[in-house]
Structure 1
Amino acid sequence: MTVDRLLDGRLKLRHLTLVAAIADQGSIMRAAEALHITQPVVTRGLHELEAILGVPLFDRGPRGVTPTVYGESFIEHAYAMLAQLRQAGRQIELLAQGEIGSVTVGTHLAGSNLLLPRAIAALKTEHPRLTVVVREATPDVLHTALLAGEVDLTVGRLTSATPPPRLTQEQLYLEPIQLVARVGHPVHRRAETSLEQLLGYPWVFPVEQTALRAELEESFLYEGVPIPDNRIECTSILTLRHLLVSTDAIAALPMLIAEHDDKLAFIETPLKSIRRSVGVLRPADRPCSPAARALLEHLRRQAHGLRFEES
């Protein structure tokens, strides 16, 4: 196969849509249902695409389909091309409306407490007609949404110095993680408290898909202490806060979340092994929209006043 075969007019946009839907749904039948077309139409389109490429894209099995090595490579490019087309459509719509448009930002706990609301408020002051859509999810879900073009950028915890594949990242500030409990909690009456001494209380832990959960587990391991058996796992800040203020639960939170809450207080138990940075992730293979660039600039401005010394 030569590259020119992809440019000879036989490859259609519907082929990209079909292969993306099959990859997402895991079967021909579910892909047809998702696209609101018949199963033979999907099967025929897949056969056409495989004939153009000259290689099989999926292995068929009794429980669905699995991408071949060729399929995995082509699906990745199909996602990228569809995301570029969605972005182009949004740009044209914005130009036609003569307005900066909208921006969709994903967030999880570490980026949603002060930085994002302040940046959005400042952005709306400058552009009152701009629509900001905030999507909250775990990092793995947000990464998928970024690559699919469903989210323009995400704000939250950067898990490593190297961004995930096909994404680029920018650190905005460093913030300590600290243990917190409600004001009046019995733990605040102790002069010194170790992790082991805190095991007698209920805990609220992040879910397993988050970096903070992994680092908390490492912290307990470093101290030779098992993770609490009496724990609740969640990422919803509203649920987490209610549990903290209404029970004797303990949680590890970014400093800025508890610092401005008069019903929460820090526990003087260090988490020395946890290092954390807050920043922005965005796709590396497509430019920001005007609205996304405007929000990114306000995020940078607001982050300038939220810098901490590394512990």
Structure 2
Amino acid sequence: MKIPRLLDGRLKFRHLALVDALSRQGSVVSAAAELHVTQPAATRSLQELEDILGVPLYERGPRGVTPTVFGEAFTGHARAVLAQLAQAGRHVVELADADRGTVIVGTHLAGSNVLLPRAIAEIKRERPCLTVVVKEASPEALLLELEAGRVDFVVGRLTAPAAERTVRRKLYDESVELVVRAGHTLAGRDGVELADLADYPWILPGAETALRREIEEFFARHAMQLPMNRVETTSFLTVRQLLLETDVIAALPGLITRDDARIVRLGVPLDPIGHSVGLTLWAGRALGPSAEALIESLEATAAGMASQNP
């Protein structure tokens, strides 16, 4: 098989954007809608790209498209090119106006509610014209955003093992605690056991999260089933409001409860459930000045928080 000539002018950036969208959306219709083109135009672009490469990139089925081994490989390269171009454009703008710029940070529950707001507040005092864009999603979704360059880095819980082609920087360790509202019947009670919590409503993390799997293992070690009366969510706004207005029990990072006197921890330890909070970056990708500045603020903020959470 001859090596495709990808620099002869036939390969366009719309081809790269298309394979990125197709691999995420799983259908030509959805990818076309995301790219604001018609379905026939997206189909033609895919056919052009497969002709250029000389291999099928997707298997067509009644429910959409699935990347072939060639499609998976090429999508990774396409996302790397798109990410570098996006970063290059923003880097030039920041060099032209050092006081401005944009940093896009991805986050999930363990990093979004204490560490990140404090770090943003600190950097905005120094650089008020810096735009900080925060994207909240599951860790798995954020890794795709990171790979494609749609976020500069991710801040939140560091789950093991690290994804391929990523670099992680630990900022601090944090415990996970069972919490309720301050007026809850269990608040302040001594000698509370896990079995005493079975009849209360619970909030659990989504099934796709590492914390959910750890909680399931915790219940299994105590020979108990997960509560039947439960809400499953990773939205902290939803968790907080339900905690304040109902008798739910939730598992949350410890620092969150220390910032709100309306939420108190129960004396039921979740050991060994805990986690490291830190940064996830894409290996080998240079960051712009704005992203580096926010990372410095996060590191300084985390150092102060670590002293509060020995």
Q: Same fold per TM (> 0.5)?
A: yes
SS of the equivalent of 1:200 reads: coil
Q: 1:24 to 1:112 in 2, by over 3 A?
A: closer
CA offset digits 1:208-247 (Å, max 9, x no partner): 1221111111111111111111111222222212222222
Aligned length: 310
Distance 2:58 2:146 in 1: 24
Judge conservation of contact 1:113–1:256 (CA < 8 Å) in 2.
no
Aligned to 1:172: 171
2:47 maps to 1:47: yes
Q: Does 1:62 align with 2:48?
A: no
CA distance in 2, matches of 1:67, 1:2: 21
The alignment status of 1:105 with 2:105, answered yes or no, reads yes
Q: Distance in 2 between matches of 1:110 and 1:98?
A: 31
The amino acid across from 1:104 in the alignment is: I
Cα deviations by residue, 1:37-70 (Å, 9 ceiling, x for unpaired): 4444433433332233222212223333222111
CA contact (8 A) 1:215 1:273 kept: no
Tell me by how many angstroms 1:196 deviates. 1.2
Which amino acid is the alignment partner of residue 27 of structure 2? S
Whether contact under 8 Å (2:200, 2:249) holds in the other structure is yes
293-302 vs 278-287, which moves further = 278-287
CA contact (8 A) 1:120 1:295 kept: yes
- Please identify, of 248-257 and 8-17, the stretch whose mean Cα deviation from structure 2 is larger: 8-17
Q: Return the letter of the residue paired with 2:60.
A: R
1:197 lines up with 2:196 in the alignment = yes
Counterparts of 1:263 and 1:40 in 2: how far apart (Å)?
Answer: 55
Paired residue secondary structure (2:122): helix
Give the Cα–Cα distance (whole angstroms) in 2 for the partners of residues 62 and 32 of structure 1.
17
Deviation at 1:100, TM superposition (A): 4.0
Q: Is the 8 A contact 1:207 1:234 kept in 2?
A: yes
Return the alpha-carbon distance in structure 2 between the equivalents of residues 71 and 104 of structure 1.
Answer: 27
Letter in 1 for 2:267: E
Change (3 A) 1:243 1:44: closer
Change (3 A) 1:134 1:30: closer
> What is the CA distance between 1:203 and its match in structure 2?
1.2
Alignment deviations for residues 76-131 of structure 1 (CA, whole Å, 9 cap, x no partner)? 11111111111112112323445440111121111122211111111111111101
Mark the CA change 1:167 to 1:36 in structure 2 (over 3 Å): closer, same or farther: same
- 1:254 is matched with 253
RMSD across aligned positions (CA): 2.2
CA positional deviation for 1:3: 4.5
Per the alignment, in what secondary structure is the counterpart of residue 186 of structure 1?
A: coil
Aligned to 2:185: 186
1:140 alignment partner in structure 2: 140
In the alignment, what sits opposite 2:117?
Answer: 117
Name the CA distance, whole Å, in 2 between partners of 1:308 and 1:125. Answer: 23
Q: Distance in 2 between matches of 1:183 and 1:29?
A: 49
Q: 2:292 is matched by which residue type in structure 1?
A: R
> How many Å apart are 1:29 and its aligned residue?
4.3
Q: Partners of 1:22 and 1:181 in 2: how far apart?
A: 43
The 1:31/1:272 distance shift into structure 2, 3 A limit, reads closer
Seen in structure 2, the aligned counterparts of structure 1 residues 277 and 96 have a Cα distance that, compared at 3 Å, is same
Residue 180 of structure 2: SS of its match in structure 1? Answer: strand
Structure 2: how far apart are the matches of 1:172 and 1:72? Answer: 33
Whichever residue aligns with residue 171 of structure 1, its letter is K
Structure 2 letter corresponding to 1:291: S
When structure 1 is superposed on structure 2, of 54-63 and 21-30 the one drifting more is 21-30
Q: How far did residue 279 of structure 1 move?
A: 0.7
In 1: Cα distance, 2:109 partner to 2:33 partner: 34
The equivalent residue for 1:289 is: 288
Overall identity of the aligned pairs, in %: 53
- Residue 264 of structure 2 corresponds to 265
Match of 2:73 in 1: 73
**For residues 225-271 of structure 1, what are the alpha-carbon distances to aligned partners after superposition, in whole Å with 9 as ceiling and x for unaligned?**
11111111222222212222222211111111111211122211111
Does the 8 Å contact 1:180/1:252 carry over to 2? yes
Q: Distance in 1 between matches of 2:111 and 2:35?
A: 35
Aligned residue for 1:86, secondary structure, equals: helix
Question: Which position in structure 1 is the counterpart of 2:301?
Answer: 302
User: Is the alpha carbon distance of 1:45 and 1:265 closer, same or farther for their aligned partners in structure 2, counting shifts above 3 Å?
Assistant: closer
1:62/1:306 CA distance change after superposition, 3 Å: same
2:6 match: secondary structure: helix
Give the aligned partner of residue 244 of structure 1: 243
Using the alignment, how far apart are the partners of 2:112 and 2:103 within structure 1? Answer: 16
- Output the amino acid matched with 1:209: E
User: Which consecutive unaligned segments of at least 5 residues does structure 2 have?
Assistant: none
Q: Which residue of structure 2 aligns with residue 10 of structure 1?
A: 10
Distance 2:238 2:48 in 1: 50
TM-score (norm. length: structure 2): 0.91
CA distance in 2 between counterparts of 1:137 and 1:268 reads 30
| Contact 2:206-2:232 at 8 Å conserved across structures | yes
